[in-house]
Amino acid sequence: MNKVLTLIGSLIVAYSSWAANYETYVYNVCDTDTLRLDYYRADEENAPLMVFAFGSGFMAGERHCEHYDKLFNFLCDNGVSVATIDYRTVLLAGGQESIATVEGFCNALYKAIVVAVTDFASATAYLVENVKQLGFDPTKVFAAGSSAGAITALQTELSICNGELPGLTPDFNYAGVISMAGAVCALGEPEWETTPAPMLLFHGDADSNVPFNKICVGDIGLYGSEFISNQLTEVNAPHQIHIVRGATHNVCHIPCVDYQGEILDFIRAVSQGRFSRIVVIDDAAAIPQQYKTEFTVEDYIRSNME
Report the pLDDT value the prediction gives residue 152, as an integer from 0 to 100: 98
pTM: 0.92
Report the pLDDT value the prediction gives residue 286, as an integer from 0 to 100: 67
Q: Can you give the chain as a three-state secondary structure string?
A: CHHHHHHHHHHHHHHHHHHCCCEEEEEEEECCEEEEEEEECCCCCCEEEEEEECCCCCCCCCCCCHHHHHHHHHHHHCCCEEEEECCCCCCCCCCHHHHCCHHHHHHHHHHHHHHHHHHHHHHHHHHHHCHHHHCEEEEEEEEEEECHHHHHHHHHHHHHHCCCCCCCCCCCCCCEEEEECCEEEEECCCCCCCCCCCEEEEEECCCCCCCCCEEEECCEEEEEHHHHHHHHHHCCCCEEEEEECCCCHHHHCHHHHHCHHHHHHHHHHHHCCCCCCEEEEEECCCCCCCCCCCCCHHHHHHHHHC
pLDDT exceeds 60 at position 13? no
Q: Tens digit of pLDDT for each residue in 160-198?
A: 999 998 778 888 999 999 999 999 999 999 999 999 999
Model confidence at 5, pLDDT cuts 50, 70, 90, reads: very low
Model confidence at 271, pLDDT cuts 50, 70, 90, reads: very high
pLDDT exceeds 70 at position 2? no
pLDDT exceeds 50 at position 8? no
Report the pLDDT value the prediction gives residue 96, as an integer from 0 to 100: 86
Model confidence at 115, pLDDT cuts 50, 70, 90, reads: very high
